[in-house]
Structure 1
Amino acid sequence: MELPLIIAVAAVAIFSVFITPKAKSNGAFFNGLSPKGKPPGLLMLTFSQVTTWIFARSLLNAAILGFYYGIWGTVAYAAYYLSFLTGAKIIDSVRFKHGFDSIQAFLTDRFGKWGTQCYNFVVGIRLVSEVFANILVIGILFGIAGSSSYTIAVALFAIVTLVYSMLGGLHASLRTDLFQMVLFLILLAALTIVVITTGHLNTATLMFKSFSISDPGPVLIVVALLQIWSYPMHDPVMMDRGFLADRETTLKSFYHAAWISFACIMLFGSFGIVAGANAGSGETMNQVLLRILGENPMLLFNITLVISAMSTLDSTLSSASKLVAVDMRWIEPSRANGRITMAVFVMLGLLLVFWGNKDLFSAVAVSGTASMYLAPVIFFSLWGGRTDIPLWSYLASFAIAITGAALYFTESAGHSQLLGESHKYTKLLFISLTVLISGCLLFWAGIVSQKQQPQLSSTTG
């Protein structure tokens, strides 16, 4: 299977480079404008939203969760895609209600430089983890970690995607996203038809795991429903696409992306459910699928993962260059500096691939937990319109979220057992609830303290 997969990947990569226009202005490189200076249309923006969020790690996670926890595991992962609905509300408020041109500008207005520094820290971790995770999936498909095929596949994939990303920046990413999404949908439809015709995809198979509220799948559904309020705001790829087009096009792209993404994740996750229902003792998901489907369907399965990895990686790199050069202003916002930034992020991602954690879902859970410090910001400052939240409330909420993210990482990796021996997703639910409730209480306490200050001053006088 390796040679056909290599040929397929090479074909997609070469065509992606072929359709990539070289960015001739900063507007094209950082803001996605066409050579004529026009923003993306609804179809391009929607498909770009979908394909940059249905990345290889997501597909693999949805299938793996389905394999172990049945339909409830896949539903849990699909629930994260409701973030498009909350993301639409966030963008509409930041951009069209409050009039800011970036999330950083809003946070600076509300909380000063600390507002953006905390945010950029979380966003930076998110971007590096995305580069790492999508490169890692390629390595998993092509060989065992440490093997020559693994190393070569990872290096070539990273270099090819970096090349066409550096050529055209965000506009190139939007164009290749459109092509890659169309190809992804064709392959997903073909794979679904194959699985259905084998007779393995049916109601009995999908429901091979019964529902129990204390099981990992249902617990993870609750976690997702807690994290989707803040999750989109910490994802720069989604947020960047909220500032490209007019209000109607932007909101429609978010709404359409929500249902398309949910459907795609459920479809791909169902392959993992099929594998779980037919698994023998000690069999992995890929081994089961290869046994019951054969080599050609598995080739389609792997090609869809490669395409989604490529489409996400180029978008992540364009967002990374915009974050460092435009939003953080660490360097001059030029195309040359943007390209250098892309190369640095790819190197960081490669370092993590060869020396980092190999748990794909841990990156989602850790960044999702860290992002929850933004939930009270959204509830009180953005949607509530409060401008009197003290800085200490913001910083304390940030500190608790980062602590919670670190705690989950150590607990899920087995480095600590401070929360006992319960399942790691039960621990994640407890941590998420604690972070969310604590953050909201801190913001409420900050409002109360601000109201009491004039009274205290008056009494003292």
Structure 2
Amino acid sequence: MMTIYVALAFLVVALASVAVAPRRASVEGFFGGASATGAAPGLWTLVLSQVTTWIFARSLMNAAILGYFYGMAGTLAYAAYYGSFLTGGFIVARIRARGGRSVQDWLGAQFGRTGQGSYNVVIALRLLSEVFANLLVVGLIFNALLPESGAGTIAVLAVAVLGLAYSAWGGLSAALRTDVVQMLLFLVVFGIAFAALVTGPDFSLAAVLTAEGTAGARQGWILLAVAALQVYSYPAHDPVMMDRGFLADAKTTRRSFLHAFWISVLCILGFGMFGIQASLVGAEYEEELLGTWAVMFPPWIWAALMLSLLISALSTLDSALSSAARVTVEELRLLPRSLTGGRIAMVGFMTLGAGLTLWGNASLFDAVAVSGTASMFLTPVLVVGLVMGRPIPLWSYLVAFGAAILGAAAYFLRANGIVAALLPDAHKYDQLLVICIAVLAVGFAAVIAGARGRRLAAAGQR
């Protein structure tokens, strides 16, 4: 019976999203998020949109899973990625101060089409992983609700079609409007479940805050170090966040990033506590914690958790698709800048994402680790080029880019015999930390050497 309630409640949310999507779409609204009157989104529209697109289903599950295995250290490690709102807001402000309207604008001015093209490849893969990961969580939830029924596959296809329907209707303008509704619903549903957790007879805040998880806290602290290394470049390779940094005026944008930061961190820490509590009561890990929670909590609390995950998945899909349309049409120029062109791009990304989901890949955090490592070529480029204002030659950029891509590939292929021989014989997160340090060391060495060479050459011409 509870399964039916969850499915019906999610159907109501999906239909409400369709209902609030704009009835008419303009090209500017589809790609730029402007309202029917041409107005930019307001502060809280931006805040709620930023939060709901980053507090997505994969993130919530990652926070809970890391909390289960590594205690509060694991949850803090994942929460640290949300410092991206602070570093992302800083990057946006610097680019806007120099007259840029996107990260691609700035990279194009510095490195031409090569710089833009390499960056667009990385963010296209990032967007595809967003679609895949959120559909994956939908499948996991419905498989837990109705085991051995094939419900997961049906749910993935249904959510893909529903998400695509209203996203393709209005593009970014639709995503902004539905994000507000979905985030408010998420906060209500999750707030009820969280209140039930902390008021439960077996909950102890002191125990949660000092918990070390079922596998010990060490790897959680290792992941916190990884997050600290990746948090500067991580937002710059997330087109959903970056797109929202250029929709409103500078003051509104700056405030939206600050508010999104603290709201997101609180949500991640709160959801992580569900995973930590599962480890404290000695629950066995089952089905991405979905089965674990079904045993731990009363049915209505479990249903609230499932519904909050489903809402967050739906809210991320529309934003990922709208950014995918913008990248494909405005940056890669593979399709005409029209409603039809944008909609074709959305269909393509949704089809590929759903295909990957149904293919059987079930890794969640690895997608974050791989994309975060691939983005690290941006750290030395942004620090030296954007912050310090030093000119960087193209060869330096390409060396940093190559190092990051090789690092991401090394982590993804760490089980391969050749790759394994190059990595330390240690836990995969220790290997990830070593890879991140190596990527940054090579990137900074190349960028600093290139910038110094440019400066010496300029001085010699005087």
Shorter-normalised TM range: over 0.9
Deviations 1:82-119 (A, max 9, x none): 00000000000111x21011111111110011100110
Question: 8 Å contact 2:245–2:253 — kept in the other structure?
Answer: yes
Please give the residue correspondences for 1:44-443 in structure 2 after superposition, counting only pairs within 5 Å.
44-95=45-96, 97-143=97-143, 148-202=150-204, 203-209=206-212, 215-280=218-283, 285-355=289-359, 357-387=361-391, 389-411=392-414, 416-418=419-421, 419-443=423-447
- What's the C-alpha RMSD, in Å, of the aligned pairs? 2.1
How far 1:436 sits from its partner (Å)? Answer: 1.1
Identity of paired residues, percent?
46
TM-score normalised over the length of structure 1: 0.95
How far 1:194 sits from its partner (Å)? Answer: 0.8
How far 1:287 sits from its partner (Å)? Answer: 3.4
Question: 8 Å contact 1:55–1:134 — kept in the other structure?
Answer: yes
Question: 8 Å contact 1:211–1:218 — kept in the other structure?
Answer: no
Deviations 1:336-360 (A, max 9, x none): 1101100000011011112253110
Deviates more, 1:261-270 or 1:279-288: 279-288
**C-alpha distance 92-281 of structure 1, shift in aligned 2 (>3 A):** closer
Aligned length: 456
SS at match of 1:242: helix
Deviates more, 1:16-25 or 1:342-351: 16-25
Structure-2 residue corresponding to 1:6: 7
**C-alpha distance 51-415 of structure 1, shift in aligned 2 (>3 A):** farther
Using the alignment, how far apart are the partners of 1:443 and 1:213 within structure 2?
Answer: 38
How far 1:314 sits from its partner (Å)? Answer: 0.3
Equivalent position amino acid for 1:300 in 2: A
Structure-2 residue corresponding to 1:41: 42
How far 1:25 sits from its partner (Å)? Answer: 1.2
**C-alpha distance 199-411 of structure 1, shift in aligned 2 (>3 A):** farther
SS at match of 1:70: helix
Using the alignment, how far apart are the partners of 1:55 and 1:205 within structure 2?
Answer: 23
Equivalent position amino acid for 1:137 in 2: V
SS at match of 2:414: helix
**C-alpha distance 91-146 of structure 1, shift in aligned 2 (>3 A):** farther
SS at match of 1:143: helix
SS at match of 1:198: coil
**C-alpha distance 399-290 of structure 1, shift in aligned 2 (>3 A):** same
Using the alignment, how far apart are the partners of 2:447 and 2:438 within structure 1?
Answer: 14
SS at match of 1:417: helix
Equivalent position amino acid for 1:134 in 2: N
Using the alignment, how far apart are the partners of 2:286 and 2:132 within structure 1?
Answer: 27
How far 1:455 sits from its partner (Å)? Answer: 7.4
Deviations 1:213-242 (A, max 9, x none): 981100000100110100000000000000
Question: 8 Å contact 2:285–2:292 — kept in the other structure?
Answer: no
Does residue 31 in structure 1 map to residue 32 in structure 2? yes
How far 1:9 sits from its partner (Å)? Answer: 1.1
Question: 8 Å contact 2:72–2:208 — kept in the other structure?
Answer: no
Deviates more, 1:198-207 or 1:221-230: 198-207
Does residue 450 in structure 1 map to residue 451 in structure 2? no
Deviates more, 1:1-10 or 1:70-79: 1-10
How far 1:399 sits from its partner (Å)? Answer: 0.4
Using the alignment, how far apart are the partners of 1:15 and 1:455 within structure 2?
Answer: 63
Equivalent position amino acid for 2:250 in 1: R
Question: 8 Å contact 1:278–1:288 — kept in the other structure?
Answer: no
How far 1:288 sits from its partner (Å)? Answer: 3.2
Equivalent position amino acid for 1:328 in 2: L
Question: 8 Å contact 1:212–1:218 — kept in the other structure?
Answer: no
**C-alpha distance 2-414 of structure 1, shift in aligned 2 (>3 A):** farther
Using the alignment, how far apart are the partners of 2:315 and 2:415 within structure 1?
Answer: 29
Using the alignment, how far apart are the partners of 2:118 and 2:66 within structure 1?
Answer: 31
Using the alignment, how far apart are the partners of 1:420 and 1:24 within structure 2?
Answer: 53
Using the alignment, how far apart are the partners of 1:4 and 1:210 within structure 2?
Answer: 32
Using the alignment, how far apart are the partners of 1:448 and 1:244 within structure 2?
Answer: 36
Using the alignment, how far apart are the partners of 1:383 and 1:339 within structure 2?
Answer: 37
Deviations 1:289-308 (A, max 9, x none): 22221211000000000000
Deviations 1:415-459 (A, max 9, x none): 95231431111111111111112111110111222244467889x
Using the alignment, how far apart are the partners of 2:61 and 2:380 within structure 1?
Answer: 31
**C-alpha distance 268-413 of structure 1, shift in aligned 2 (>3 A):** farther
Deviations 1:243-275 (A, max 9, x none): 100011000000000000000000011001001
How far 1:411 sits from its partner (Å)? Answer: 1.6
Equivalent position amino acid for 1:267 in 2: G
Using the alignment, how far apart are the partners of 1:334 and 1:361 within structure 2?
Answer: 35
How far 1:282 sits from its partner (Å)? Answer: 6.0
**C-alpha distance 210-282 of structure 1, shift in aligned 2 (>3 A):** closer
Question: 8 Å contact 1:85–1:258 — kept in the other structure?
Answer: yes
Using the alignment, how far apart are the partners of 1:181 and 1:402 within structure 2?
Answer: 34
Using the alignment, how far apart are the partners of 1:455 and 1:192 within structure 2?
Answer: 61
Using the alignment, how far apart are the partners of 2:426 and 2:364 within structure 1?
Answer: 20
Ranges in structure 2 where 5+ consecutive residues have no aligned partner: none
TM-score normalised over the length of structure 2: 0.94
Equivalent position amino acid for 2:413 in 1: T
